[in-house]
Amino acid sequence: MSSETPKPGLKELRQRLNQVDDDMVRLLAKRLETVGLIAKEKAGSTQAIRDPEREREVLARVETLAQSLGLSAPLARKIFSEIISYSVSRQIASLAGIEGEASEVSVGYQGSPLTYNNLAAEQYLASQNLRGRFVGLPTLKLVIDSLASAAVDLALLPIENTVAGSINQVYDVLREQDLHIVGEESYRVELCLAATADAPASALRRILSHPLALDQCSAFVSALPQARAEPFLDTREAMRAVAEAKDPTLAAIGSPEAAAAHELHILNRNVGNQDEILMRYVALARAPVSVDVRVPCKTSLILSTRHEKGALLRCLHILAEYGLSMTKLESRPRPNRPWEYMFFIDFEGNVAEERAALALEALRSEALYLKILGCYPAKATPAEAQTTVLPEASEITPVEASPTATSAGRPAPSPPVARASKHYRLADRATHPEDTVIRVGSLLIGGTGFVVIAGPCSVESEDQINRTALYVREQGAHILRGGVFKPRTGPYAFQGLGREGLDLLAAAGKAAGLPIITEVMTIEQVRVVAEKSDILQIGARNMQNFPLLSAVGKVDRPVLLKRGLSSTIEEWLAAAEYILAQGNGQVILCERGIRTFESATRNTLDLSAVVVLRERTHLPIVVDPSHGTGKRPYVAPMAWAARACGAHGISVEVHPNPDQALSDGDQSLDFPGFKALMEGLSRVRV
């Protein structure tokens, strides 16, 4: 009589399963160990980190093996796609010199533990082979402030979602803050419905979750007409509220991890509007990173185009000509510029590559404003295209790589045209033959127009600036000027009203319907003034304050750059280049007189500079006859001469009572004098 082998019980089967799971983890660790050896091997070569052909080969092989073993081929592909992606990230981290366990960073995110933002931050650091300290904060502002103050090393922010689209607040942060994108992460959002009891969804009356999560599963929620959706601070807190309420008619939508942490029953999984919802995150740091050219990269930038037909198309054409694939184009309103837009662009490429560097240089010449947000290893990209017909091996002809070929297979474009001066390539007319026209509201500066900037030397009081603003507008002025931070030769002279004066100037401009311009003297003043002033002015004494020039080059505001007291035209244009090189192409040059041996006037107004500049640069040129002469009777005649010789505008000082002015009264026009100047301008023939 034969005895049958006893069937294993549930406990034994689970032990077997545990053993298999442990073996799988050990094999994964062994695979990653091999990946590390491969990374070290590649470190000494020029071989690219990512090999798409090799990845396709691996996925095809595991799919075939899975099918032969009776397993799901799509499941095998999904698992190994994740493994390959993680392996590539580890190789990139190794190439960047990250020391793994020895390195620890702090990461700020918006929300609480077990929210999607927290889980994505954990995933990002794991892919970088880093240990981290995670700091959850209730608002986006607190996250950014923590990064700026060095309380955290990185901030991980969600920037777009495959269902809900772009996160506009994060784009605003990138525009306003001097922070840099150093990495990205693609996180799969699994939305589940959880409650305290395992009851049907039809029994629910209220569903709590973050507004973005509710938006992403709107179809599921709307199919439960008896249940009311209620926005909550974040998905983790929604789960906590449901657990504490112990109300079976109350449910929350969030991550499975948050549901498990609060011992809730998952009633439905994957309740999103799409089968797969991905969130793209960007990692921000206080300084940019350099990425090895062998690493597949993205570059993100902000672009404002010229006020010309086809301006955006020409910018995009530059990317195409240099073989750079654009992966994103997003428009956002320009602050305080109704119905004007700036563009956020991502393209595949590394700024360390020659073709990307040349493309960015060409974009700086074409755009009015360009800010590079970061160059970083790419993760959130479309899957590699799969060919449907494979050629026979005998049909494949080896192609020798050409140093002049782009990745798109097209010949590399010719280098930019030779420039007349190596000191001001972007300002040179050889770079951009057409005149630059700068838009301020509905006003165009440059081209064939003529703009009048008028107002007091200094903002002294609310009554003074309001009276002046209304009067100069009535006489046809286009822009209101007024100093609020005043650089004076003597330390005891009136230094301006500071921020109070800025508020008075902004209010007066708004009441009169005029854009405003005022001077900035320090780097700290730049962003403060840019929030309220339409144009920033760099005074003559700061023309070669190179850190200040670079700072105004990083903001999306036109800059009026005055000529230095003893500066040559070459030096002046080189100073403008500092602003242009930072990405701000909205530079207006202002001739305000130079210091010579002549003492009959305060300065010598060099109108010949206008003619020279019209030949050498595409930038608009205005003339300041007030500072150029320093004497009231000479201002109007020199203003008329400025128009006659081809200037694009003038800047003059006007005061209700010049003899009582706190600064530069001798060169300021009174109201009748300004009226006479404007009447004379209309009679000048150009």
Q: Determine, yes or no, domain membership for 23.
A: no
Cβ–Cβ < 8 Å for 518, 534: no
Amino acid at 276: E
Q: Determine, yes or no, domain membership for 387.
A: no
So what's the pLDDT on residue 4? 67
C-alpha to C-alpha distance for 147 and 659, rounded to whole angstroms:
51
255 and 371 within one domain: no
C-alpha to C-alpha distance for 589 and 620, rounded to whole angstroms:
6
317 and 244 within one domain: no
CA distances from 206 to 236, 249, 251 (A): 16, 7, 6
Q: Pseudo-torsion of CA 46, 50, 52, 55, nearest 10°?
A: 120
- Residue 464 makes CB contacts below 8 A (sequence gap 6+) with 456, 655, 656
Domain residues for the domain of 597 are 438-681
Q: How is the beta sheet containing 297-304 ordered, strand by strand?
A: 325-334, 337-348, 297-304, 369-377
339 membership: H or E segment, kind and range? strand 337-348
C-alpha to C-alpha distance for 34 and 29, rounded to whole angstroms:
9
> Among candidates 223, 333, 335, which has minimal Cα distance to 268?
223
244 and 297 within one domain: no
SS3 415: coil
Cβ–Cβ < 8 Å for 553, 583: yes
C-alpha to C-alpha distance for 107 and 63, rounded to whole angstroms:
37
Burial of 172 per CB tally in 10 Å (0-12, 13-18, 19+): middle
638 and 520 within one domain: yes
C-alpha to C-alpha distance for 492 and 237, rounded to whole angstroms:
58
Q: Determine, yes or no, domain membership for 488.
A: yes
**Percent of the chain scoring above 90 in pLDDT:** 60
Q: Determine, yes or no, domain membership for 238.
A: yes
Cβ–Cβ < 8 Å for 330, 342: no
502 and 647 within one domain: yes
C-alpha to C-alpha distance for 256 and 263, rounded to whole angstroms:
10
What is the mean pLDDT, run by run of 10 residues, along the chain of 686 residues? Answer: 70 84 87 80 70 81 86 82 78 61 80 93 87 92 95 95 87 91 93 91 91 90 90 92 93 93 92 88 94 89 88 93 93 82 94 94 91 91 47 40 36 43 84 90 89 96 96 95 80 76 95 95 94 95 96 95 96 96 95 94 95 96 96 96 96 95 92 95 86
So what's the pLDDT on residue 285? 96
Cβ–Cβ < 8 Å for 555, 526: yes
Q: Which long-range contacts link 225-231 to residues 24+ away (Cβ below 8 Å)?
A: 226/202, 227/201, 227/251, 230/206
450 and 562 within one domain: yes
Q: Checking DSSP bridges between strand 587-591 and strand 559-562, what pairing results, if any?
A: parallel
Q: Pseudo-torsion of CA 255, 259, 261, 262, nearest 10°?
A: 140
214 and 256 within one domain: yes
576 and 453 within one domain: yes
Cβ–Cβ < 8 Å for 238, 260: no
So what's the pLDDT on residue 44? 67
Q: What is the CATH number of the domain that holds 657?
A: 3.20.20.70
Q: Checking DSSP bridges between strand 250-254 and strand 325-334, what pairing results, if any?
A: unpaired
pTM: 0.75
Residue 315 tokens read as 């910018």
Residues constituting the chain: 686
State residue 304 phi and psi, 5-degree precision.
-120, 130
549 and 665 within one domain: yes
Q: Specify which residues 394 forms β-bridges with.
A: none
Q: Determine, yes or no, domain membership for 392.
A: no
Q: Determine, yes or no, domain membership for 396.
A: no
641 and 524 within one domain: yes
297 and 263 within one domain: no
Scanning 1-139, the segments in alpha helix (DSSP H) are 10-43, 52-68, 73-95, 116-127
Q: Determine, yes or no, domain membership for 389.
A: no
* Number of domains observed in the structure of the chain: 4
Q: Quick one: DSSP state of residue 208?
A: E
Query: What number of other Cβ atoms are within 10 A of residue 385's Cβ?
Result: 7
Residue after which a domain boundary falls, among 271, 301, 326: 271
Q: What is the CATH number of the domain that holds 373?
A: 3.30.70.260
Q: Specify which residues 562 forms β-bridges with.
A: 590
Helix/strand/coil percent split, the chain, to 5: 40, 20, 40
Q: Specify which residues 451 forms β-bridges with.
A: 649
Q: Determine, yes or no, domain membership for 176.
A: no
E-strand ranges in 513-667 read 516-519, 535-538, 559-562, 587-591, 621-623, 649-653
Cβ–Cβ < 8 Å for 541, 517: no
**Residue reference for tokens 């700072």:** 551
So what's the pLDDT on residue 254? 93
So what's the pLDDT on residue 685? 80
Residue 9 tokens read as 């019980």
C-alpha to C-alpha distance for 61 and 467, rounded to whole angstroms:
80
307 and 263 within one domain: no
C-alpha to C-alpha distance for 256 and 270, rounded to whole angstroms:
10
- Residue 5 makes CB contacts below 8 A (sequence gap 6+) with none
**Residue reference for tokens 């009226």:** 675
State residue 488 phi and psi, 5-degree precision.
-115, 150
C-alpha to C-alpha distance for 562 and 565, rounded to whole angstroms:
9
